[in-house]
Amino acid sequence: MRLLVIGGTSFVGRHAVEAAVEAGHDVAVFHRGRTNADLLTGRIDHRIGDRDGNPDYSSLDRAETWDAVLDVSAYVPRHVHQLADAIGDRVGHYVHVSSISAYDEAGITPDEDSPLAADLADPTFEEVTGEAYGPLKAMCERAGLARFGEDRTAIVRPTYVCGPHDSTDRFTYWARRMARGGDVAILSPSAPLQIVDGRDLGAFMVRLAADATAGGFDGVGPFAPVPELLAAITPEGVETRLVGVGADAIEAAGVRLPLVSQEADAFMTRPGTRARAAGLETRSASETASATREWDVARGEPALKVGPSADQETALLSTAGGA
């Protein structure tokens, strides 16, 4: 298969590229040349361009075709339309990475036929805020279906994507924190949490492309109440005690506990039945945590972008009587 990946040098795209190369596919990666490009080696054709700022798709403006394209970096519908303008008639299958957030919270059901969020009132709005993210992703989905056609479009909606090379540090915070042990501050002991390993998501996207599978799929892995999932990612022999702290105390401390927000259950308990039938295979949360810790050590365990420091967590625990 001749595969084009749009934005394949960072996290999910990087794992998809590696899975495609390992499977023997010919891969071209369209990227800005700024992030990890030197680490992607092997049978990879690098195409430098940009879909933001001053969009430039000229490196794709050739008399060539691709069997499929994986679009992992479309956040606003303009991205999809401009890509379709550049290669729409020269690609067989279109695989778009959306998000669980694209669903309409008011009408969400447990399956992939849940209604999507409505379009934003201003179709030109492109600020990816917490409030606008879901509707923008839904608008991207509609753009993809309109431009590439339902019969050659696959849409993947993941929950929290975790694992090695995750630049957000959200899951890495918990992988580190549970390995340290002791009293651990959490927001809600009853809220569910659902993750998917970026390596599993990348491999699934490649499979959808290779099989030319169309439709919408929840790209999801394990889910469990927060205590169960955190217990699953705690290394053997490490003793921990989870201590619930109030949202007001967290806000007053000026910190954020990543991932463990008060998400609606329907967003964090997706069975992913259709995706599994189409070939999605997921590993355990403990495997994802172990691989994340190994990667974190290899990169030198830098300061994390999210999560409280040890001193800040101690102060939080004291508000709950946990320290």
How many other β-carbons are positioned within 10 Å of the β-carbon of residue 180? 13
Paired tokens of 23? 């499977």
Q: CA-to-CA distance for 243 and 187, rounded, in angstroms?
A: 8
* pLDDT tens digit at each of 323 positions of the chain: 999 999 877 899 999 999 999 999 999 999 887 666 555 666 688 888 999 888 999 999 778 899 999 999 999 999 999 999 999 889 999 999 999 999 998 888 888 999 999 999 999 999 999 899 999 999 999 999 999 999 999 999 999 999 999 999 999 999 999 999 999 999 877 788 999 999 999 999 999 999 999 999 999 998 899 999 999 999 999 999 999 888 888 888 888 899 876 556 888 999 999 999 999 999 999 999 999 999 999 999 999 999 999 999 999 998 876 54
Q: Report pLDDT for 255.
A: 86
Per DSSP (E only), the strands in 245-300 are none
Q: CA-to-CA distance for 166 and 160, rounded, in angstroms?
A: 11
Q: CA-to-CA distance for 5 and 11, rounded, in angstroms?
A: 12
User: What one-letter code names the amino acid at 125?
Assistant: F
Name which of 266, 246, 228 is nearest 186 in CA terms: 246
Residue entry with tokens 């109440």: 225
User: What one-letter code names the amino acid at 304?
Assistant: L
Q: Report pLDDT for 263.
A: 58
Name which of 295, 299, 278 is nearest 220 in CA terms: 278
DSSP per position, 37-59: GGG--SSEEEEE-BSSSS-B-GG
Residue entry with tokens 């059901």: 109
Q: CA-to-CA distance for 277 and 123, rounded, in angstroms?
A: 35
**Cα–chain center distance at 140:** 15
Angle at 10 between CA 31 and CA 275, to 5 degrees: 105
**Both ends of the chain: CA-CA distance in Å?**
57
Q: Report pLDDT for 44.
A: 83
Q: CA-to-CA distance for 30 and 171, rounded, in angstroms?
A: 27
Whether the Cβ atoms of residue 95 and residue 69 lie closer than 8 Å to each other: yes
DSSP one-letter code for 131: T
Strands 160-162 and 26-31: unpaired
DSSP per position, 162-201: ESTT-TT-HHHHHHHHHHH-EEEEES-SS-EEEEEEHHHH
Q: Report pLDDT for 110.
A: 86
Q: CA-to-CA distance for 246 and 230, rounded, in angstroms?
A: 18
Whether the Cβ atoms of residue 252 and residue 143 lie closer than 8 Å to each other: no
